[in-house]
Chains A and B, each alone.
Chain A
Amino acid sequence: MNAGLYVHVPFCRHRCHFCAFMITTHRDFLADWERAVIAELLLRGSAFPETFDTIYFGGGTPSLAPPDSIGRIIDAARKHLTVSPDIEITLEANPGDLTARDLGELHELGVNRLSLGLQSTNDDDLSFLTRHHSAKEGRDAFLAARAAGFANITIDLIYGLPHRNREEWRDRLGAALELEPDHVSAYQLTYEPGTPMRRFRDKGDFTSLTIEEEGERFALTRRWLAEAGYAPYEISNFALEPRFESRHNWKYWEGAPYLGLGPAAHSFRDGRRWWNHGAVRNYVRAVDPKKGEESLTEAQIRLEMMFLGLRTVRGIRIENLPEGLLDRPRTQSYLDQGLAEMVEGRFRLTSRGLAVADGIAADLGGATTP
Chain B
Amino acid sequence: MRRDRIRNFSIIAHIDHGKSTLADRMIEITGAVPDRSLKDQLLDTMDIERERGITIKSNAIALDYEAEDGETYCLNLIDTPGHVDFTYEVSRALAACEGVLLLIDATQGVQAQTVSNLYLALEQELTVIPVINKIDLPAADVDRVHDQIESELGLDPFDAVECSAKTGQGVEAILEAIVALIPPPADKVDLPLRALIFDSQYDEYRGVVIHCRVFEGEVNKGDMIKLFGTDREYRVEETGIFRISRIARKTLSAGEVGYVIAGIKTVGNARVGDTMTLAENPATEPLAGYRDAQSVVFSSIYPVDAVDYEDLTLGLEKLKLNDASLLYEKESSASLGFGFRCGFLGLLHLEVVQERVEREYGISIITTAPTVRYRITHRTGAVVEIKNPLDYPDPSVIDFTEEPYIRADIILPERYLGPVIALCIQNRGMNQKMHYMDPRNVELRYDLPLAEILYEFYDRLKSVSQGYASFAYEPLEYQKADLVKVDILVNKERVDALSFLSHRDRAVARGRLICAQLKKTIHRHLFKVPIQAAIGGNVIARETISAMRKDVTAKCYGGDISRKRKLLEKQKKGKKRMKMVGSVEIPQEAFLSVLKTSKED
Which residue numbers of A lie inside 8 Å of B, CB to CB? 6, 58, 187-190, 211-212, 214-216, 218, 235-236, 249, 252-253, 258, 260, 264-268, 273, 275, 294, 300, 303-304, 307-308, 311, 337, 339, 354-363, 365-366, 368
Selected contact of B557 from candidates A189, A249, A300, A303, CB within 8 Å: A249
Please measure, in the bound complex, the distance between the C-alpha atom of A6 and the C-alpha atom of B558, giving whole angstroms: 9
List A contacts of B526 (CB < 8 A): 337, 339, 356, 359-360, 363
Selected contact of A187 from candidates B527, B555, B565, B568, CB within 8 Å: B555
B2 contacts the other chain (CB 8 A): no
Chain B contact residue count (CB 8 A cutoff): 26
A359 touches B568 (CB 8 A): no
* 10 closest Cβ pairs, A-B complex: A215-B549, A215-B550, A187-B554, A357-B552, A266-B558, A355-B550, A358-B551, A214-B550, A365-B568, A266-B559
B167 contacts the other chain (CB 8 A): no
Please measure, in the bound complex, the distance between the C-alpha atom of A357 and the C-alpha atom of B556, giving whole angstroms: 12
Given A260-B558, A337-B527, is A356 in contact with B548 using a C-beta cutoff of 8 Å? yes
List A contacts of B549 (CB < 8 A): 211-212, 214-216, 355-356
Selected contact of A275 from candidates B525, B554, B559, CB within 8 Å: B559
List A contacts of B435 (CB < 8 A): none
Please measure, in the bound complex, the distance between the C-alpha atom of A218 and the C-alpha atom of B550, giving whole angstroms: 8
How many A-B pairs with Cβ below 8 Å?
Answer: 105
Measured CB to CB, the closest approach of chain A to B116, in angstroms, equals 48
Starting from the known contacts A211-B524, A214-B550, A355-B550, 12 additional A-B residue pairs (CB-CB under 8 Å) come to A189-B554, A190-B553, A218-B550, A252-B556, A253-B556, A268-B558, A275-B562, A356-B548, A356-B552, A359-B548, A359-B551, A361-B568
B571 touches A252 (CB 8 A): no
A160 closest partner in B (C-beta): B554
Measured CB to CB, the closest approach of chain A to B55, in angstroms, equals 42
Please measure, in the bound complex, the distance between the C-alpha atom of A58 and the C-alpha atom of B552, giving whole angstroms: 23
**From A6, A249, A362, residue with most partner B Cβ within 10 Å:** A362
Please measure, in the bound complex, the distance between the C-alpha atom of A261 and the C-alpha atom of B562, giving whole angstroms: 17
List B contacts of A354 (CB < 8 A): 552
A365 touches B557 (CB 8 A): no
List A contacts of B550 (CB < 8 A): 188, 211, 214-215, 218, 355-356
List A contacts of B564 (CB < 8 A): 304, 307
Could you show 28 A-B contacts with beta carbons less than 8 Å apart?
A6-B558, A187-B555, A190-B553, A211-B548, A215-B550, A218-B552, A235-B556, A236-B554, A252-B557, A258-B558, A260-B559, A304-B561, A307-B565, A308-B561, A311-B556, A337-B527, A354-B552, A355-B549, A356-B549, A356-B551, A356-B552, A359-B526, A362-B568, A365-B568, A365-B571, A365-B572, A366-B572, A368-B572
Measured CB to CB, the closest approach of chain B to A180, in angstroms, equals 24
Please measure, in the bound complex, the distance between the C-alpha atom of A252 and the C-alpha atom of B555, giving whole angstroms: 11
B206 contacts the other chain (CB 8 A): no
What mask results when residues 513 to 555 of chain B are scored 1 for a CB within 8 Å of chain A, else 0? 0000000000011110000000000000000001011111111
Please measure, in the bound complex, the distance between the C-alpha atom of A235 and the C-alpha atom of B568, giving whole angstroms: 18
Please measure, in the bound complex, the distance between the C-alpha atom of A83 and the C-alpha atom of B559, giving whole angstroms: 23
Measured CB to CB, the closest approach of chain A to B88, in angstroms, equals 49
Please measure, in the bound complex, the distance between the C-alpha atom of A354 and the C-alpha atom of B552, giving whole angstroms: 7
List B contacts of A211 (CB < 8 A): 524, 548-551
A22 closest partner in B (C-beta): B559
Please measure, in the bound complex, the distance between the C-alpha atom of A189 and the C-alpha atom of B344, giving whole angstroms: 52
Please measure, in the bound complex, the distance between the C-alpha atom of A96 and the C-alpha atom of B565, giving whole angstroms: 37
Please measure, in the bound complex, the distance between the C-alpha atom of A354 and the C-alpha atom of B571, giving whole angstroms: 19
Interface of B is mostly: loop
B50 contacts the other chain (CB 8 A): no
List A contacts of B559 (CB < 8 A): 260, 264-266, 275
Measured CB to CB, the closest approach of chain A to B110, in angstroms, equals 47
Please measure, in the bound complex, the distance between the C-alpha atom of A159 and the C-alpha atom of B244, giving whole angstroms: 69
List A contacts of B525 (CB < 8 A): 359
B561 closest partner in A (C-beta): A304
B557 touches A362 (CB 8 A): no
B246 contacts the other chain (CB 8 A): no
Measured CB to CB, the closest approach of chain B to A301, in angstroms, equals 9
Which residue numbers of B lie inside 8 Å of A, CB to CB? 524-527, 546, 548-559, 561-562, 564-565, 568-569, 571-572, 575
List A contacts of B565 (CB < 8 A): 300, 303-304, 307
List A contacts of B552 (CB < 8 A): 218, 235, 311, 354-358
Measured CB to CB, the closest approach of chain B to A91, in angstroms, equals 15
Please measure, in the bound complex, the distance between the C-alpha atom of A275 and the C-alpha atom of B558, giving whole angstroms: 10
Selected contact of B568 from candidates A260, A264, A303, A337, CB within 8 Å: A303
List A contacts of B546 (CB < 8 A): 212
List B contacts of A214 (CB < 8 A): 549-550
Measured CB to CB, the closest approach of chain A to B34, in angstroms, equals 50
List B contacts of A215 (CB < 8 A): 549-550
List B contacts of A308 (CB < 8 A): 556, 561
Please measure, in the bound complex, the distance between the C-alpha atom of A315 and the C-alpha atom of B561, giving whole angstroms: 17
List B contacts of A216 (CB < 8 A): 549
A212 closest partner in B (C-beta): B549
Please measure, in the bound complex, the distance between the C-alpha atom of A311 and the C-alpha atom of B554, giving whole angstroms: 10
List B contacts of A368 (CB < 8 A): 572
Measured CB to CB, the closest approach of chain B to A244, in angstroms, equals 18
Please measure, in the bound complex, the distance between the C-alpha atom of A268 and the C-alpha atom of B548, giving whole angstroms: 33
B554 touches A307 (CB 8 A): no
Please measure, in the bound complex, the distance between the C-alpha atom of A273 and the C-alpha atom of B564, giving whole angstroms: 14
A339 closest partner in B (C-beta): B526
Please measure, in the bound complex, the distance between the C-alpha atom of A359 and the C-alpha atom of B554, giving whole angstroms: 14
Selected contact of A235 from candidates B524, B548, B554, B571, CB within 8 Å: B554
List B contacts of A188 (CB < 8 A): 550, 554
Measured CB to CB, the closest approach of chain A to B284, in angstroms, equals 67
Selected contact of B554 from candidates A6, A190, A304, A337, CB within 8 Å: A190
B552 closest partner in A (C-beta): A357
List A contacts of B556 (CB < 8 A): 235, 252-253, 308, 311
Measured CB to CB, the closest approach of chain A to B527, in angstroms, equals 7
Please measure, in the bound complex, the distance between the C-alpha atom of A12 and the C-alpha atom of B565, giving whole angstroms: 29
Measured CB to CB, the closest approach of chain A to B524, in angstroms, equals 8
Please measure, in the bound complex, the distance between the C-alpha atom of A218 and the C-alpha atom of B557, giving whole angstroms: 19
Please measure, in the bound complex, the distance between the C-alpha atom of A368 and the C-alpha atom of B524, giving whole angstroms: 22
List B contacts of A303 (CB < 8 A): 565, 568-569
List B contacts of A6 (CB < 8 A): 558
List B contacts of A249 (CB < 8 A): 557
List B contacts of A337 (CB < 8 A): 526-527
A294 closest partner in B (C-beta): B562
Please measure, in the bound complex, the distance between the C-alpha atom of A194 and the C-alpha atom of B277, giving whole angstroms: 70
A251 closest partner in B (C-beta): B558
B565 closest partner in A (C-beta): A304
Selected contact of A273 from candidates B554, B557, B562, CB within 8 Å: B562
Please measure, in the bound complex, the distance between the C-alpha atom of A363 and the C-alpha atom of B580, giving whole angstroms: 12
A159 closest partner in B (C-beta): B554
Please measure, in the bound complex, the distance between the C-alpha atom of A355 and the C-alpha atom of B549, giving whole angstroms: 7
A236 closest partner in B (C-beta): B554
Please measure, in the bound complex, the distance between the C-alpha atom of A365 and the C-alpha atom of B573, giving whole angstroms: 11
List B contacts of A236 (CB < 8 A): 554-555
Measured CB to CB, the closest approach of chain A to B318, in angstroms, equals 31
A299 closest partner in B (C-beta): B569
Please measure, in the bound complex, the distance between the C-alpha atom of A214 and the C-alpha atom of B553, giving whole angstroms: 11
List A contacts of B548 (CB < 8 A): 211, 356, 359
